[in-house]
Amino acid sequence: MAGLLNGKVVVVTGAGGGIGRDIALAMAAEGASVVVNDLGASLTGVGADQGPAQKVVDEIKALDGKAVASTESVAGWESAQKIVATAVDTFGRIDCVVNNAGILRDRFFFNMSIEEWKTVLDVHLNGSFFMARAAAPHFKTENTGSLVNMTSTSALIGNYGQANYMAAKLGIAGLSRSVALDMAKFNVRSNCIAPFAWSRMISSIPTETPDQVERVNRLKTMETAKIAPLAVYLASDLAKEVTGQIFGVRANEIFLFSQPRPVRSVHNAQGWTPERIAQQAIPAMRAQFTPLERSQDVFSWDPI
């Protein structure tokens, strides 16, 4: 049966469960050969277990799909190279990398340790760079390729107690944009998805207040499988002219996010002093200030 991804080879990181698993299954269902990468670590990045990745591979093969497991870490340059090499050595090429692997070390900024900061950036931001950089020479040789990078509305909008995660995920948006610009002449695309879904990554959200309980109940209605169709589309030739964009998926809703552009300007022919800025510039721009909102403040309606 013809599929959108017949003949393509896709690496999905963090694919042992949740969003990554559903993306891997969907890629395989559309004919892709899939490298199911998962270190098998805990939510906080501790430990390793070969089981989750192999279990998803077994699921794919049971449905007559093609897949191989990888348990290397995305957070190291050499191990990321090995993940890409697994795709090339096993299936002969690589066409898409889905940078989905991630961990959480949530803590309010004023209490966050250096280790908590570095570990989250290593997996999310450095891992996305290492994987993209490892695939880049193959993409250039083939004159085609696609990167699907997972960002978050926690970064694009805001959230409490996630300085490390927000910095990493907003960094991924910048990285994705840069790759899109640098690789466009090689027909390589790079896009972001900000997923809304109940998964292990957000199952640690506290439920100590009525507001928190309501938020978690809303999140539980959003299935991880709803993210997969957009990831498949972005990996396919149907999206050959789509690059440098940031999308969101929440249940049956798909969003296109704006990216920073000037929203207001002020001019003073005499030049600015701190006093003139206080008296003229800030009052003129204040109505366009971005409020201190969190993701749930902006997406305040129930999933559709």
Q: What is the DSSP string of 37-101?
A: E-----TTS----SHHHHHHHHHHHHTT-EEEEE---TTSHHHHHHHHHHHHHHHS---EEEE--
How far apart are alpha carbons 137 and 135 in whole angstroms? 6
In sequence order, the β-bridge partners of residue 69 are 36
Residue 263 burial by Cβ neighbours in a 10 Å radius (0-12, 13-18, 19+): exposed
Known catalytic residue at 160: no
Structure tokens at 31: 């004919």
The one catalytic residue in 91, 165, 196, 198 is: 165
| Beta carbons within 10 angstroms of residue 188's beta carbon | 22
**What percent helix, strand, coil does the chain show, rounded to 5?**
50, 15, 35
Distance (Å, whole) CA 234 – CA 110: 38
CB count, 10 Å around CB of 244?
Answer: 16
Q: What are the catalytic residues?
A: 165
